[in-house]
Structure 1
Amino acid sequence: MNKKLLKSRIDAANKQQKADLVIRNASIVNVFTKSLTTGNVAISGNTIVGIGDYEGFQEIDAAGKFIAPGLIDAHVHIESSMVTPQEFSKIVLPHGVTTVITDPHEIANVSGTAGLDFMLKDAESTLLDIKLMLPSCVPSTSFENAGAKLSAEDLKPFLKRSSVLGLAEVMDFPAVLRGDDAMLDKLMLSRQIDGHAAGLSENDINVYGTAGILTDHECVTKEEMIMRLERGMHVMLREGSVAKNLHALLEGVTEKNAHRCLFCTDDKHLDDLIEEGSVDHNVRVAIKQGIDPVTAISMASINAAQCFGLRGKGAIAPGYEADFLLLNNLEELAIAEVYKGGQLVAQNGQYVGPAQEKTDASAVQDTVRIPELSIDSFQIPMGSSSKAHVIGINPNNLITEHLIIETPVIDGYFVSNTEKDLLKIAVIERHKATGNIGLGIVRGLGLKNGAIATTVAHDSHNIIAVGTTDQDIKIAAEALQNLKGGLVIVQDGKVLANLPLAIAGLMSDQPVEIVYAQLKSLDDSLLKIGTSTEFNAFLTLSFLSLPVIPHLKLTDCGLFDVTSFRHIPVAVADE
């Protein structure tokens, strides 16, 4: 900011000149005193310059309304929306989200630094304020094959970018515990480090804190949350499309500890963002569960701003950025208008900001490379055993069960059985055509006939497919190669529906409206092949390859036991 601009703002604050915009007669959500206060809000340029009796060149009578700070999503993977940052901004701004802190480790696992460059460049053209945390674990572990590897030296140049805040969720806890040199180099890059403390013990949290990792979004119980809060961590209460931990964690939130609690979505599908919302949904759920509305809004604004050192964000106060919401109703967080930097960007649930030019995505396309597949590629030998280690799905939870159960076997090989809900699942390396195929058995998807497959498979984003026959699994995987990435549904050897994701196999290059329609077509086809209606089958499938979340997962190298942090055979050895 130059001296002339600062002088102009001071003059407006001192009533020596009119403000550019004045919001009159609204009740102010004061996140500092946790109360509702009064006064006209004066804005000069993109900054709030005063609260009191002001005149403006433009004045809005907001009588009966509430003015609240813009909301902040403290941890989100934009790629999980399956649209670019530009398109993502058009979805979340109408939901009152004016700032997000994103970890682009999904695209980084596919395209490395080219993926980071694309996300940063596309984010620059949006009105949404997109802050970046640098991926700490690419690949997330050494037990799978991703499309890239990022060292501390690879990440260091990005710290010079003003929108980069620090180091994103550290998932490789064993590397932290051992004090591995490569991990230590990354931890020393920044003082702002996000955690990923799924299933960690009290002592593990001690180690995390000592390493400078002071946030976590993986709590699933209030006891886990309180243990982290007691050790000085900021806890993000997550409500995404698969991981829905909000209700359980809100039981542990009190007026005494709420200042250390934030809201995040982590991974949320496009249709859920459109229909349910972003962290505005978290706020509404919190209010319904008994949290004071001002406290709930504070958790989605000033708490996140203070956690990440975002000075000037998260409040309605002089010197703060003019990111704010006009609410018709506080209890229901009924959003009438959204302002970003003093500019109206959304009204009555619709984006009204300017259009942006598309960002060149050529460097992050054509990323699906697999060798020729055969039916034999998908056979699971069981030897003389009929017992198997099976991935058990917990609906709407990232944590899976490690089951040991009797499975159907013919001629020494496992065969899928829909009556017992035991299906074959495969992870096919898709970055360098290595031919790696990890095979396993899953229970809980409820698929009755056909196969589904996707290149969205956290975190290394290989092809992951599940089906009732090997033939349909093979056809689904080959269809993804032809699409250059995406989601596909196959039945009886034919493709029923698909959603192309041309950008790194993760994001569409199409507008929100087209992608949303394609998603709805996929939903209809999922019903035809008989998947469960309790949860989203594609989203659930996409996390079954994540080897940093307990208990049993599948990578391109085979079945992975997260508890022992090693690969195990599918068949249980005879005693």
Structure 2
Amino acid sequence: MRKLAKDNQKDNHMKQLIDVASGRVKADIVIKNANVADVFNGVFVRGDVAVCGDKIAGVGRYSGVTEIDGTDKYVMPSFYDAHMHFESVMIRPSEYLKAAVARGVTAFNADPHEIANVCGEAGIKFMIDDVKGIPADVRFMMPSCVPATPEDCSGCVLDARAVKDIADKYGLFGLGEMMNYPGVIGADADVMQKLGVRDIIDGHAPSLSGNALNAYLCGNILTDHECESVEEVLEKISKGMYVLIREGSQTKNLKTTVKAVNKTNLRRFLFCTDDRNVEDLFEIGTVSNAVRLAVECGLDPVSAITIASLNAFEAYGIKKHGAIASGYSADFLLCSDNIAQKIDKVFYHGKVVAENGVPLFETQPASANALYGSVHIKPVTERDFEFEFKKGMPIMRVFPNTVVTETVAAQSRENLNLMCCIERHHASGMIGHCYVDGFNLKNGAIAQTVGHDAHNITVLGDNPRDMLLAVNGLSSDGGLVLVKDGRLIGRLPLEIAGLMTDATAETALKIRGELFKALSEMDYNKNIEPFMLLSFMTLIVIPDAKLNHKGLFSVSKWNYLYKG
């Protein structure tokens, strides 16, 4: 009986949609005389957009119960962020979504592997609960690598059995970025089982090429967001991958990788942010920022919109989304320009959910109290932040706008900073040390509990006193801390797993503003975003030199350059 009632409801909805599409019945909403993005033909067309319930009935000439003047306006499908981590914005998901939906994104592939590395299943459940009732399609991926590699020490270990159990229990959409590419290429038994948990599998394969890439793709990997060059993009597309053009806050690959887009391969590209800070979220948006930059780089507007919408839905097998066309989900934007820099209204399932950058919906945040107090370390002293320098020793060199680093031989201690990675989940007392070139921090230290992906404590400075003060300033909840000349001058508490603040986005923005004001008074390389860059300097799946709690690691050689 329930199935029959459901089928009847579906048939009635289809009949209503057909009646509206044919013009026999007025639409619920009509956007009149607008410039409509045709993502199938790559052009804007003039017409009325008719909405019936949660679907688009058609583009043509229509009348509606509610009519909105679209003259000199643009209608385009709302956007899809194909790979992102809520945790990287350092605010809870519900707070992020209020800002992101209002800026034109109504679909997300969210990988909660950051919080899973700290809190396991409890962290994943919190993320799922926190987005409930929000007008957006949030598709959670099951973290595939907790920890990222066997060399890491995180707060939780999820083997293949746990990955399957959690993915099934919560109905997760796909398998999150498979960072353990050595495990795939080497056909590790546990990795092989994980690859069988879901058909949709996101990749993470920086610099993989040739037979190694062929082997990786035989694990049914669908996408990659780690491309650094046009050549890398074209090889991965030629082998059947979708390439996610990434424009985050530290990893800014778009201006390079968009050069690989042409009329033949256009449909193989998606946009993603991966890791975004809250300032960029509010000031320049997320996917709309990628659309703008792509057009500035020479891509035509409808092609950029296609990458931002239809391509992602088709890549992930989601039908009838991502276009302004009959029978498609009525998720769209009404804009004053053709690249979504001035979004007047955001529609989700046929309803206005944001207007002029302001969300029109409320959220019901999930309790995060159980995720507080996640920092557990042995007491440290100034001696823990001393490390013998030897001429010619390998060190890490960092650069602006990328999290890729180099291994270089140090010739002098001058202008180098010491970085330490302190294991913070089990109070083991393990600390890795290395020198860093390119950060150029003087007379101070920065410490944080955000350190992809194991999220141990990362501290960088030029003297033991300030490094100790910075680490002690984190407390048991964690966060970001700045110390200058023996004084704690800035702190952002991140109570939720040491990754996210429990404050509102606006409060977080204010506190971070104060933090960056304090940072501006410090002497460092102003071409980098210190907190975002520092968070990636411990991730040993991105080339080349990275530091974990054991020591300095070479990703290309897959071994330690030294331990301790």
TM-score w.r.t. the length of structure 2 is: 0.95
Residue pair 1:10, 1:49 contacting (<8 A) in 2 also:
no
Kept in 2: contact 1:429–1:463 (CA 8 A): yes
Q: SS at 1:367's partner residue?
A: coil
Q: Output the amino acid matched with 2:399.
A: N
Q: In structure 2, how many angstroms separate the alpha carbons of the residues matched to 1:330 and 1:398?
A: 32
Matched, 1:389 2:385: no
Match of 1:529 among 515, 522, 543: 522
Q: Which residue of 2 aligns with 1:563?
A: 556
Match of 1:497 in 2: 490
Kept in 1, the 8 Å contact 2:39–2:306? The answer is yes
Query: In the alignment, does 2:111 pair up with 1:106?
Result: no
Task: Give the superposition deviation at 1:52.
Answer: 3.0
Q: Which residue of 1 aligns with 2:195?
A: 187
Query: Which residue of structure 2 aligns with residue 220 of structure 1?
Result: 228
Q: In 1, Cα distance between the equivalents of 2:436 and 2:227?
A: 24
Render the CA deviation track for 1:345-365: whole Å, top value 9, x for unaligned: 2222222x2222221112322
Within 5 Å, which residues of 2 pair with 1:325-364? 325-331=333-339, 333-351=341-359, 353-364=360-371
CA 1:280–1:536 in structure 2 vs 1: closer, same or farther (change >3 Å)? same
Work out the CA distance in 1 between the residues paired with 2:10 and 2:221.
38
Q: State the AA in 2 paired with 1:249.
A: T
SS at structure 1 position matched to 2:393? strand
* Equivalent pair of 2:378/2:429 in contact (CA under 8 Å): yes
1:275 to 283, 286, 291: 283
1:519 aligns with 2:512: yes
Structure 1, unmatched stretches of 5+, are: 409-419
Residue 375 of structure 1: how far off its partner (Å): 1.6
Asked if 1:54 is matched to 2:62, the reply is yes
Partner of 2:210: 202
CA RMSD of aligned residues (A): 1.7
Q: 1:313-349 deviations in whole A, cap 9, x for unaligned?
A: 2111122111100121115643221111112122222
Deviation, structure 1 residue 378: 2.1
The amino acid that maps onto 1:358 is: P
In structure 1, distance between residues paired with 2:16 and 2:343: 32
Q: CA deviation at 1:442?
A: 0.6
Identify which of 470, 481, 496 aligns with 2:464. 470
Per the alignment, residue 135 of structure 1 pairs with: 143
Structure 1's 235 and 295: CA in aligned 2 closer, same or farther, altered over 3 A? same
Q: 2:133 aligns with which of 125, 128, 141?
A: 125
* Aligned-partner SS, 1:542: helix
Structure 2 CA distance, aligned partners of 1:469 and 1:159? 45
Deviation at 1:469, TM superposition (A): 1.1
Aligned mates of 2:282, 2:528 — CA distance in 1:
17
Equivalent residues of 1:86, 1:125 under 8 A apart: no
Give the direction of change, closer, same or farther, for the CA distance of 1:22–1:328 in structure 2 (3 Å limit): same
* Total equivalences in the alignment: 556
Contact 2:28 2:64 in 1 (8 A): yes
Q: How much has 1:64 moved relative to structure 2?
A: 1.4
Give distance in 2, aligned partners of 1:162 and 1:431: 25
Check if 1:237 corresponds to 2:245.
yes
Question: Residues 37, 10 of structure 1: CA spacing in aligned structure 2 closer, same or farther, 3 A cutoff?
Answer: farther
What is the rounded CA distance, in whole Å, between the counterparts of 2:122 and 2:320 in structure 1? Answer: 31
- Quote the Cα distance in structure 1 between the aligned partners of 2:516 and 2:525: 11
* Structure 1 counterpart SS, 2:173: strand
Q: Tell me, yes or no, if structure 1 residue 306 matches structure 2 residue 300.
A: no
* Contact kept? 1:108, 1:116, Cα under 8 Å: yes
Structure-2 separation of matches of 1:282 and 1:84: 23
* Separation (CA, whole Å) in 2 of partners of 1:444 and 1:354: 44
Give the direction of change, closer, same or farther, for the CA distance of 1:346–1:398 in structure 2 (3 Å limit): same
Q: Secondary structure at the match of 1:481?
A: coil
Partner of 2:432: 438
Aligned partner of 2:375 in structure 1 is 368
Correspondent of 1:152 among 160, 179, 183? 160
TM-score, length-scaled by structure 1:
0.94
Distance, in Å, in 2 between the alignment partners of 1:229 and 1:143 is 31
Alpha-carbon distance, 1:468 to partner:
1.4
Matched, 1:22 2:30: yes
Per-residue deviation, residues 33-62 of structure 1 (Å, max 9, x unmatched): 212223322222222223333332222121
- 8 Å contact from structure 2 (residues 288, 340) kept in 1: no
- What is the distance in 2 between the residues matched to 1:266 and 1:334? 23
Cross-structure match for 2:3: none
Q: Please identify, of 178-187 and 304-313, the stretch whose mean Cα deviation from structure 2 is larger.
A: 304-313
What displacement does 1:9 show? Answer: 4.2
1:33 has 2:47 as partner:
no
Once the two structures are TM-superposed, the CA of residue 379 in structure 1 deviates from its matched residue by 2.4
Sequence identity percentage: 39
User: Which one-letter code corresponds to 1:469 in the other structure?
Assistant: N
Counterpart CA distance in 1 for 2:393 and 2:317 is: 49
Paired amino acid for 2:331: D
Match of 2:411 in 1: 406
Query: Is the deviation greater in 98-107 or in 35-44?
Result: 35-44
**Aligned residue for 2:450?**
456
- Measured in 1, the distance between the counterparts of 2:16 and 2:331 equals 21
Query: Residues 389 and 570 of structure 1 are in contact (CA less than 8 Å); yes or no, is this contact kept in structure 2?
Result: no
The residue type paired with residue 328 of structure 1 is S
Q: 2:303 and 2:396 mapped to 1: Cα distance?
A: 39
The CA deviation string for residues 157-177 of structure 1, in whole angstroms up to 9 with x for no partner, is 344478622111111111111
Alpha-carbon shift at residue 446 of structure 1 (Å): 1.8
Q: Give the equivalent residue in structure 1 for 2:332.
A: 324
Give the match for residue 386 of structure 2. Answer: 379
Task: Give the secondary-structure state (helix, strand or coil) at the position aligned to 2:16.
Answer: helix
What code does the residue aligned with 2:357 have? G
Q: Which residue of 2 aligns with 1:423?
A: 417
The Cα shift of 1:254 comes to 0.6
Shift of 1:17: 3.9
Structure 1 residue 310: Cα displacement = 1.7
Cα distance in 1 between the residues matched to 2:493 and 2:165:
32
Matched, 1:256 2:274: no
Cα distance in 2, alignment partners of residues 17 and 451 from structure 1: 67
Go from structure 1 to structure 2 and tell me whether the alpha carbon gap of 1:55 and 1:162 turns closer, same or farther (over 3 Å shift).
Answer: farther
Distance 1:162 1:569, change over 3 A: closer
CA distance in 2 between partners of 1:333 and 1:123 (Å): 26
Write the distance in 1 (CA, Å) between the matches of 2:210 and 2:398: 26
Distance of 1:161 and 1:333 partners within structure 2: 39
Partner of 1:413: none
How far apart in 2 are the matches of 1:286 and 1:168? 26
SS at match of 1:99: strand
1:237-263 per-position Cα deviation (integer Å, ceiling 9, x unaligned) = 111111111011111111111110111
Q: Does 1:92 find its partner at 2:100?
A: yes
Whether the 8 Å CA contact 2:288–2:339 is kept in 1: the answer is no
Q: Distance in 1 between matches of 2:427 and 2:171?
A: 35
Q: C-alpha distance in 2, partners of 1:159/1:139?
A: 17
Note closer, same or farther for the CA distance 1:370–1:461 as it changes in structure 2 (3 Å cut): same
Query: How far off is 1:125 after superposition?
Result: 2.8
1:169 is matched with which residue: 173, 177, 181? 177
